[in-house]
Amino acid sequence: MKIVTSMVMLAFIGIWLMSPAYGVEYGTDFLEPGNPGGVSGSLKTFDDEWPLGAGETFAIDIWAADIPETIISSGFEMLYNPAQVSLVSVQAYDGEDIDGPWDGTATVKMPDAYGPGSYVLALVQLGICPAPDTGGDVIIARVTFQCLAAGSSEITFQGIDGFDTTVGCTSAVVYDSQMGSHTIIINQEGQGTSTTTSPSTTTSSISSSTTSSPSTTTTTIKRCLSESIYGGNGEETRLLRHFRDTVLSRTAEGRELINLYYLWSPVVVSAMEGNEEFKTWVKQMIDDMLPMIQQTVE
C-alpha cells in the first residue's frame, strides 16, 4: 500500500478534495447535537458522529461550498429512497422558512418532482447577491428526514435537470457541472460502505456500527483524504485546493494527476481509516511537501 500511495501522492497533494475543478461542490452539514446550523451558527463539522435510532429524525444543512464569487441563484434536485427514509421538511434559507440570503418571494419548491423520492428546490436573489461566508460557502436549505427501515439508503443532491441552478452573479458562470452530485450513503445495519468518486461527482459515505441496543446505530461521515487529516476548513486543505485549481488544472499533465487522484483516493482513504500507523505515514509525507506547494502557489 505504501508503494501505491507513493506513486499517486503527487496527485493527492495537487487536487486534495473530492470535488471538481475550483473545488465547487454541494456540502452537507449534519446537525449533530450542539450544532445549530444556519448562516452564522453552523459549525460546519461535516464529519461528526451521533446516535441514530429507528424512527428518529436527522437534519442536514445544504451548502454551495467553495464558491469563488457571489451567486444569483442556487438550489438542487434531491433523490432518496422513500422506503428507507421519509422526508419530513425542506426549509429554504430565504427569510420565509429560515432567515438567510435568498429571496423568499422567488423560491420554487416541487415535492415529488420526478415521482416519490424526489424533490426540487430553486432559489434566486435579484437584490444583493448572496456572498460566500469566510469559509467560501453559501447556505441553501435545511432538509430533515426520518429513518424508516434498516438497510442502506442514499440521498443525492445535484443541479436541477434542464435548469441553470448555481450561477455567478457578475460572471454569469454556471457552476452546475463543477458541483456535480453529492451522495450520502447511510447504512443502518453496521456494514461499512465504500466511497467512489469521479471528476464530476462528489460522494460521501457513511458507515455504521451497531451498539448493544438493536434499534440504535452510530453514523460516521467519511470525508475526503485531506479533510480526514487536516479537516475540511484546515489551512493545509485550502492550500492544496488552491494549488490544484491554480496550477494542476491548467495543464494536461496536471489534469491527468487529477484523474489519478479520483481513481486511487477511495482505496487510500479506506486503508488509512483502518490503520493509524499508515495514516501517520501519509500525513508525514504530505507535511514534508507542503512548503514546496506553498512556494509554488506564491
293 and 146 in a common domain:
no
Residue 229's pLDDT is what?
80
- Tens digits of residue pLDDT in 54-72: 677 889 999 999 899 999 9
213 and 131 in a common domain:
yes
Mean pLDDT within 233-249: 79
41 and 12 in a common domain:
no
The DSSP H or E segment spanning 144 is: strand 138-147
Structural domain boundaries, residue 255: 1-17+225-298
- Higher-scoring residue by pLDDT: 40, 119: 119
Angstrom distance (rounded) from CA 263 to CA 233:
24
Contact status, residue 244 vs residue 35, Cβ threshold 8 Å: no
Can you give the length of the chain in residues? 298
Question: Per-residue confidence at 10, pLDDT binned at 50, 70, 90?
Answer: very low
- Higher-scoring residue by pLDDT: 24, 100: 100
Collapse the DSSP code of 118 into the 3-class scheme (helix H, G, I; strand E, B; otherwise coil) and give the result.
strand
181 and 76 in a common domain:
yes
Residue 256's pLDDT is what?
66
Residue 278's pLDDT is what?
83
180 and 60 in a common domain:
yes
From 223, 243, 272, give the residue that closes a domain.
Answer: 223
233 and 85 in a common domain:
no
Angstrom distance (rounded) from CA 166 to CA 24:
10
Residue 202's pLDDT is what?
41
Task: With a cut of 50, say whether residue 270 has pLDDT above it.
Answer: yes
136 and 61 in a common domain:
yes
> What is the total count of domains within the chain?
2
263 and 177 in a common domain:
no
Question: Per-residue confidence at 115, pLDDT binned at 50, 70, 90?
Answer: very high
203 and 289 in a common domain:
no
Mean pLDDT within 109-118: 95
194 and 76 in a common domain:
yes
Angstrom distance (rounded) from CA 178 to CA 272:
27
Task: With a cut of 90, say whether residue 87 has pLDDT above it.
Answer: yes
From 191, 206, 223, give the residue that closes a domain.
Answer: 223
CATH code of residue 195:
2.60.40.680
126 and 112 in a common domain:
yes
From 223, 247, 272, give the residue that closes a domain.
Answer: 223
Angstrom distance (rounded) from CA 252 to CA 248:
8
Mean pLDDT within 227-254: 77
Looking at residue 16, its amino acid is W
In 3D, which of 10, 83, 14, 70 has the Cα closest to residue 250?
14
Task: With a cut of 60, say whether residue 199 has pLDDT above it.
Answer: no
94 and 199 in a common domain:
yes
Place of cell 502557489: 297
